[in-house]
Structure 1
Amino acid sequence: MSGVWMYSAGGAIGGELARVAPPTPSGLSFAMLTHLEALNIYKYKYEREPLTLSNPIRFPETLKKPTLKGLCLPWNYMSTIQRLPKLEVLKLLDSSFTGHLWETGDEQFHQLKYLKLTRLNIRVWEASSINFPSLRKLAVRSCKDLREIPLVLGNISTLEYINIDYSNSRVLESVNRIQNAQHDIGNYDIHVSITHMDQSEVFFQGGPLHLHGGGIFFRVFRNVVLLATFRSISGDKSCRYCANSLW
């Protein structure tokens, strides 16, 4: 678990933010943050070898919008994320997961509305329309080894928008087939946009500021950098509590 880790937490988590611990050989746990809704985890100076822990990151069931970057997780860990009951947005960036095959299996992302895959080394993505019953938007960018976006995803009745770039001609062709197949059956609801260049995901903005009704704080623990943003539950009192507890 070496390297430098950064976390950005959103939601009305108040004083519970102080319970976040730096990563250990047994993993990283956010399970105690029972009001957590959005979380960004960014590990840079990362190793290309995937983590071998059976449960390297533990999330609370309240989590709706995780963004993961540079973690090199194995794809079989995705089943843990699939089981999050309130998951709505999932962004997998820059080797957040590593491995050439992602099989979604029979499990569902029940509430997932937006899925983004960026700069992953995936080659084969095996999925079915039943895996994503609520998906509205799909973005696949800079996945240069991916052979195709699963054609069956075009059968998702809720899917409205697909965003890709010009980095992979096979992805372009598969999206074109998805769109043509839908047009053949009279469905013109799926819109496709193609961008020339993917913009890097902005994880953290601003500095160690105190905000009205919330705050941004830094914590350095050995080689771990913690950056947490939150909304206070009871005004400045909660902000001061978190700030004092972090140091």
Structure 2
Amino acid sequence: MARKKRFNGEVKVCGIHDLLREFCLIEAEMTKFMHVVRTPLSPAQKPNFRRFSIQKAFSDVYAYKVLPPVARSMYCFSFLDLPIEPHIKLLPRLPIYRHDPIIHGFFSCFNHLRVLVIFPTWFGPFPLVITKLFHLRYLQVRYFGNIPESISELHNLQTLIYDCHSSHMTLPGKIWMMKNLRYIHLGKASNYIPNPRIDNNLVTGMPNLEEFFNICYSSCTNEVFSRIPNLERLSIRASSIVRENFLYRLLDMSSLRKLEVFKLSWDNYSEKPIKRFVFPASLRKLTLDCCSHFIWEEISSTFIMLPNLEELKLKDCESEDDVWRLSDKDIFKSLKLLLLSYPNLKCWEASSDNFPNLKRLVLKNCQDLQEIPTDFGEICTLESIELHDCSTTSEDSARNIEQEQEDMGNNILKVYIHNSDTD
């Protein structure tokens, strides 16, 4: 069942019915695909599986020894049921972990692990024994603090998902030695990565890295970009810890010739962010979040220069002017999706020639917008106009566009109006 969909209609998150889930768990057990630990393990149990989903805390801290050492995948939704220290009883609902021989003994038993996922938050020091799991390809953890330098010992690691609960984090310099990394996702924190360095005349880098999410603006330098030449998806966050001198420099991303998806979160800085970026021509999807203090002419002049741009999303982006006037030369040739959220836009002057391939127009909280350009109905590719909590005049203009197209025999264009007060 589709839970969430992308703006292009593709399924983003799916789920299954409870009965189907139980059926899948039974089939997984019968075919020896995966063993789901839903009851406390006992020494009498000897599950002969290579994949485990631990959904019940161990009542006996040594019960993990019954798991086979040849396990390849382990998903820990719950973990060791250790006694809580007296001074930590203020947090009775949170899982507490200690860095002691029990933790070390647990991970050291599974030297063949390829996949390790720990969903509960880790409050203690990072278990260094995890960095000894040489065969790991996929690692996903939640915890407070920085990643240790010894993470570089995981030479086969391809995916690193690290949900840090602090405001910012610094990645270890030795992460540049992990040449097999393809995917790095660092939660919602602002994460600093040091410049790659040359050790023993060997240039370090991550040539196979394809996706890098939530890197801080301060660490985006030409040296960093030159070491990730095959990057396809990138997310940059400029937080309050960014040093002021970094806010005034030009960030040239033109060397990322394979970059297709880019998101920038500016966190309400007073400076103009759009003019501080040189975007690569390969971009297909671009999202600007909280990028205020721009003028609408900059949107036109900057992004029409991207020949492959198909999706443009401006979220919580407040401009300095309230009129977006597009000339005959302002043509977004490849744009299929345009999303405007919370803009202080009052007047929008545009024609169908400005967006010849637009399929979806999404407007959210456009309370000041007077109307949608009436000429948009002549965009032959336009399939939908969505309005969420917009002004009544813009809603009326959308309905008029839909009605006019229906009168002309065009039943493809649909208008969807959503208001939180009435939904």
TM-score, with normalisation over the residues of structure 1? 0.68
Q: Partner residue of 1:223?
A: none
Q: Kindly indicate whether residue 379 of structure 2 is the aligned counterpart of residue 173 of structure 1.
A: no
Gaps of 5+ in 2: 1-167, 169-188, 192-208, 213-221, 227-235, 237-241
Q: Deviations 1:141-163 (Å, cap 9, x if unpaired)?
A: 10111111101001100000111
Q: Partner residue of 1:66?
A: 286
Q: Partner residue of 1:56?
A: 276
* Aligned partner of residue 163 in structure 1, secondary structure: strand
Alignment RMSD, CA only?
2.9
Distance 1:46 1:170 in 2: 32
Higher strand share: 1
Greater relative contact order, per chain length (Cα 8 Å cut-off, separation 6+) = 1
Q: Partner residue of 1:41?
A: 264
Say if 1:66 and 1:98 are closer, same or farther in 2 by CA, change over 3 A.
farther
Report how far residue 96 of structure 1 moved.
Answer: 5.5
Report how far residue 45 of structure 1 moved.
Answer: 3.6
Say if 1:17 and 1:118 are closer, same or farther in 2 by CA, change over 3 A.
farther
* Aligned partner of residue 105 in structure 1, secondary structure: coil
Contact 2:286 2:312 in 1 (8 A): yes
Distance 2:373 2:379 in 1: 11
Distance 2:392 2:263 in 1: 30
Contact 2:318 2:344 in 1 (8 A): no
Alignment of 1:1-247 (within 5 A): 12=210, 18-19=224-225, 23-47=246-270, 51=272, 55-72=275-292, 73-78=294-299, 79-95=301-317, 97-106=319-328, 107-197=330-420
Distance 1:110 1:143 in 2: 25
More deviation, 75-84/143-152: 75-84
TM-score, with normalisation over the residues of structure 2? 0.41
Contact 2:331 2:354 in 1 (8 A): yes
* Aligned partner of residue 41 in structure 1, secondary structure: strand
* Aligned partner of residue 91 in structure 1, secondary structure: strand
Distance 1:77 1:56 in 2: 12
Report how far residue 166 of structure 1 moved.
Answer: 3.3
How many residue pairs were aligned? 188
Report how far residue 97 of structure 1 moved.
Answer: 4.0
Q: Partner residue of 1:211?
A: none
* Aligned partner of residue 55 in structure 1, secondary structure: helix
Report how far residue 112 of structure 1 moved.
Answer: 0.5
